[in-house]
Amino acid sequence: MSKNKVREYNAVEVEKKWRKKWAEDKLHEVDIEGTPEEDKFYNLTMFPYPSGSNLHMGHWLNYGGVDTFGRYMRLTGKTVFQPMGFDSFGLPAENYAIKTGVHPEDSISTNVATMKKQISEMGGMWDWSKQVITSSPEYYKWTQWLFLKMLEEGLAYQAESLVNWDPVDQTVLANEQVLADGTAERSGAVVEKKLMKQWYFKITDFAEDLLDFSGTDWPEKTRKMQENWIGKSEGTEIVFDLLSEDSGYTEKTGESLVAFSTRADTLYGATYMVVAPEHPMVDELLADDYREQCEKYIKAALMKNEIERSAEGKEKTGVFTGSYAENPINGKPVPIWVADYVIGSYGTGAIMAVPAHDKRDYEFAKKYKLDIIEVIDGDKGEEEIFTGYGIAKNSGEFDGEISEKVKEGITAKLEAIGKGSAKTTYRLRDWSVSRQRYWGAPIPVVYCDDCGVVPVPVSDLPVELPRDVDYQPKGKAPLATSEEFVNCKCPSCGGNAKRETDTLDTFVCSSWYYLRYPNANDDTQAIDKALAKKWAPIDMYIGGSEHATMHLLYVRFVNMVMQKLGYVDHKEPTLRLFHQGLITKDGAKMSKSKGNVVNPDEYVEKHGSDILKMYLMFMGPFADGGDWSDTGITGVLRFRDKFWKMLLSPEVSELYKEVEKKLHKVIDSITTDMENLQFNTCLSALMEFTNLASKKGLTRDAKEKIVTLISPLAPHMAEEIWMDVLEHEESLFAAGKVWPEANPEMLVDDVVTLGVQVNGKLRGEVELGVDEARESALEKSREVVAGSLEGKDVVKEIYVPGKIINFVVK
């Protein structure tokens, strides 16, 4: 029948042949306009940053898994759109340029070319005809358009905020560029904080929408992380009136300090207040005798970032301001402190401290000998203080009531006397999108003396990033050094104006790219409504979990805005989300600086990409990644050869019953595992089948089924078998819905072997029918473990059909 003798499998040659053929046939190019909506499957991976180094094992794991899943969906009959692009703006290219003098445009275009070549050699079904490169004017033109939309919608605004300032390099630093000791990575200078006017996106307007994940299939952990990041808490804003020093703290100054608390029920126990070092009222709180000491403390505190301020083992520090405020519930004066454990951006930046019922306040109060008054009765257990809900005491009229009631009562009372109100706050902050850097999309606004802030009209986009700009750090944004760029005419009045010189955060570029892919080459509009509505939401989005809170929150936010504007129908950008794991080397993240980067190319050259991909998929769960070691690659090679030989052996006319049953069980388990992206167990199942069937022979039908099952994992080999051995006319991946279905009758066994336990310990095995009746099952089991039952009283007999028998004896 077959013209093929059993021949050796030459992976490298075979793979090259099929990649060439697939490219010629444009097999992976999707008919974006013509595909019916019910057939579409948008299979997306988070696009890579084109860094200097080659593709690493992490990329391989990531894209290997994406492609395996995509091919599986393809074989179930879906039209799979699997585009690829590059997130090419950003800090690393700029830093590289500063260091080496190579222009980011040049290094990026080299890197993109290299990575594209390497990704192509993996043999994935990437649709390169819809590529996006975020640093290209054709793309960032529309990123600027997105900014203008935000502005139009009132979702972009300017405000001052603190940034890391390097006084030597005269430049803003990313948190990453600030070392743990507070000095700058590059210059070594002690980093300062500087107030700067920045553009923000009002993501906080969408806090409630972002908390609603209905309709999505996301990992529980990612949802939790986002929920905590958004950090909704319902509490009370409480007004503490300031007391004047001159009066001996008996009279009010007329000013007040507002604190946010989720535990208004503990207000009677509030014995002091703490304001964040960056609190806007700090300066007026400083009494003369305390000013010098406080200012020193505040300056030091502002140099640290949030993580350092609350770092491990760090003792809480603070200073007394010399001011007092009145506790509104009992009229008692409380001292006001400044401490860096209070963060300015959360709540109101000021807290009422209840040391008897809050751990941090307790530590602080003990250290500085502040009053500690218990106002709740509760079981402390082994702790020094009680932090839960209990029964109120020392709380005036609220004594004896439960905390929840007290909270409501006190809030109501505060409302009645005008000293507070119920309030919901969120930890989520607005998204700062301004960067004082060169390598980003220029923010498309101009500043006109007469008209103020004027958006650049869409027809004038892109505001092009000039190539010849001095991007060396020197005290102002790189774009500000270019007179040619800065000076322009006001689009509104035609008078002299100056351009905004900040660029956009690269997260803005990546917040909408999935809506651009379907019409990536369309120069007339950012998003094609009809196409976006058809292809969005993303059916499967795969990327690292390091993006759980930022990128994945920004994408959701932007999608919500786009929905509001009618560009998409769905609130959520992606239905299903999956995080691949991390590949490490000797337990550490692979990086050039550590010198532990393993180059995938050498494995591809030696064994072919199918082998490397299968090995990465087999190494462990796709969601876990793992530590790289090539010791196990032998097993995958052996399996591949065995599989190849099995498929090339002569066909048999009928399958052995055992093999047939196994085939259907394998179809069943692989289908489930593919759906769940558990590729390691897909391979285990294929190995088991091969071990069994290679001795017995396969029918043509079985060969077609098993080749289809392996094809998402080893597409080149599968295609070679499909076309060259099984002599099909058309590619397996163009064959439509060919994924096999298991025959349910083949999945059930009539006999099962069950463990027989005595007191929960395995003492024997028994063969039973699947639905063996209780009495006969127990009867047979008793015989098996007769020895262990001898002389004992059986007090209970447990029989769970198909699972277990357990005798409880005394």
Per CB under 7 A, the list member of 43, 236, 425, 680 interacting with RNA is 680
Q: Say how far apart CA 226 and CA 306 lie, in whole Å.
A: 19
What does the DSSP 8-state code read for residue 467?
A: S
- Tell whether the torsion through CA atoms of 136, 142, 148 and 149 is positive or negative: negative
Residue whose token pair is 């091919």: 71
Per CB under 7 A, the list member of 597, 626, 651, 699 interacting with RNA is 626
Q: Which stretch binds RNA (CB under 7 A): 332-340, 389-397, 628-636, 708-716?
A: 628-636
Per CB under 7 A, the list member of 2, 129, 158, 175 interacting with RNA is 175
Per CB under 7 A, the list member of 599, 634, 743, 776 interacting with RNA is 634
Q: Say how far apart CA 588 and CA 590 lie, in whole Å.
A: 6
**Nearest to RNA of 161, 394 (CB atom):** 161
347 binds RNA (CB under 7 A): no
What does the DSSP 8-state code read for residue 50?
A: -
3-state secondary structure 420-461: EEEEEECCCCCEECEECCCCCCECCEEEECCCEEEECCHHHC
696 binds RNA (CB under 7 A): no
- Of 147, 144, 157, nearest in space to 202 by CA: 157
Tokens standing for residue 376 = 């709740």
Total residues contacting RNA by CB under 7 A comes to 97
Q: Interaction with RNA in 524-553: which residues (CB under 7 A)?
A: 545-551
What does the DSSP 8-state code read for residue 791?
A: T
307 binds RNA (CB under 7 A): yes
Per CB under 7 A, the list member of 53, 394, 681, 699 interacting with RNA is 681
Strands 588-589 and 582-585: antiparallel
Smallest gap from Cβ 664 to RNA, in A, equals 13
Smallest gap from Cβ 29 to RNA, in A, equals 26
449 within 8 A of 456, measured Cβ to Cβ: no
Tokens standing for residue 104 = 């980011």
Per CB under 7 A, the list member of 92, 137, 409, 769 interacting with RNA is 92
Smallest gap from Cβ 510 to RNA, in A, equals 5
Smallest gap from Cβ 26 to RNA, in A, equals 29
Q: Interaction with RNA in 562-601: which residues (CB under 7 A)?
A: 582, 587, 589
Smallest gap from Cβ 476 to RNA, in A, equals 13
**Nearest to RNA of 428, 515 (CB atom):** 428
Q: Interaction with RNA in 404-423: which residues (CB under 7 A)?
A: none
Q: Interaction with RNA in 194-223: which residues (CB under 7 A)?
A: 196, 198, 220-221
**Nearest to RNA of 40, 640 (CB atom):** 640
Helix axes of 700-710 and 657-675: crossing angle, nearest 10 degrees: 20
What values do phi and psi take at 504, rounded to 5?
-85, 145
Let me know how long the chain is. Answer: 810
Smallest gap from Cβ 349 to RNA, in A, equals 13
Q: Say how far apart CA 166 and CA 193 lie, in whole Å.
A: 9
180 binds RNA (CB under 7 A): no
Q: Say how far apart CA 787 and CA 778 lie, in whole Å.
A: 15
357 within 8 A of 387, measured Cβ to Cβ: yes
Q: Which stretch binds RNA (CB under 7 A): 89-97, 141-149, 239-247, 601-609?
A: 89-97
Residues sharing a CB contact under 8 Å with residue 512, sequence separation 6 or more, in sequence order: 143, 146, 526, 527, 555, 558, 562
**Nearest to RNA of 514, 733 (CB atom):** 514
Per CB under 7 A, the list member of 139, 618, 722, 733 interacting with RNA is 618
**Nearest to RNA of 257, 646 (CB atom):** 646
Q: Say how far apart CA 449 and CA 428 lie, in whole Å.
A: 35
Per CB under 7 A, the list member of 321, 580, 711, 806 interacting with RNA is 806
Q: Interaction with RNA in 355-394: which residues (CB under 7 A)?
A: none
Q: Say how far apart CA 784 and CA 796 lie, in whole Å.
A: 17
**Nearest to RNA of 106, 641 (CB atom):** 641
Asked, as a colleague might, if the bond just before 518 is cis with ω within 30 of 0, I would say no
177 binds RNA (CB under 7 A): yes
798 binds RNA (CB under 7 A): yes
177 within 8 A of 184, measured Cβ to Cβ: yes
Per CB under 7 A, the list member of 70, 83, 90, 455 interacting with RNA is 90
**Nearest to RNA of 411, 510 (CB atom):** 510
Q: Say how far apart CA 230 and CA 306 lie, in whole Å.
A: 17
Q: Interaction with RNA in 735-764: which residues (CB under 7 A)?
A: 752-755, 757, 759-762
Q: Say how far apart CA 214 and CA 339 lie, in whole Å.
A: 40
Q: Say how far apart CA 196 and CA 432 lie, in whole Å.
A: 11
91 binds RNA (CB under 7 A): yes
Q: Interaction with RNA in 54-83: which residues (CB under 7 A)?
A: none
Smallest gap from Cβ 669 to RNA, in A, equals 9
Helix axes of 600-607 and 609-619: crossing angle, nearest 10 degrees: 120
Smallest gap from Cβ 552 to RNA, in A, equals 10
Q: Interaction with RNA in 474-513: which residues (CB under 7 A)?
A: 505-507, 510
312 binds RNA (CB under 7 A): yes
Q: Which stretch binds RNA (CB under 7 A): 302-310, 348-356, 523-531, 726-734?
A: 302-310
Per CB under 7 A, the list member of 305, 317, 394, 482 interacting with RNA is 305
3-state secondary structure of 523: coil
Per CB under 7 A, the list member of 12, 27, 102, 174 interacting with RNA is 174
**Interaction mask 421-460, RNA, x per CB under 7 A:** ------xxx-xx-xxxx-----------------------
- Of 357, 361, 309, nearest in space to 335 by CA: 361
* Geometric angle at alpha carbon 640, from 638 and 642, rounded to 5°: 70
Smallest gap from Cβ 265 to RNA, in A, equals 20
Q: Which stretch binds RNA (CB under 7 A): 121-129, 391-399, 606-614, 615-623?
A: 615-623
Residues sharing a CB contact under 8 Å with residue 803, sequence separation 6 or more, in sequence order: 754
162 within 8 A of 203, measured Cβ to Cβ: no
Per CB under 7 A, the list member of 197, 296, 638, 774 interacting with RNA is 638
Residue whose token pair is 């929150």: 553
Tokens standing for residue 632 = 């196990």
Residues sharing a CB contact under 8 Å with residue 313, sequence separation 6 or more, in sequence order: none
Smallest gap from Cβ 496 to RNA, in A, equals 27
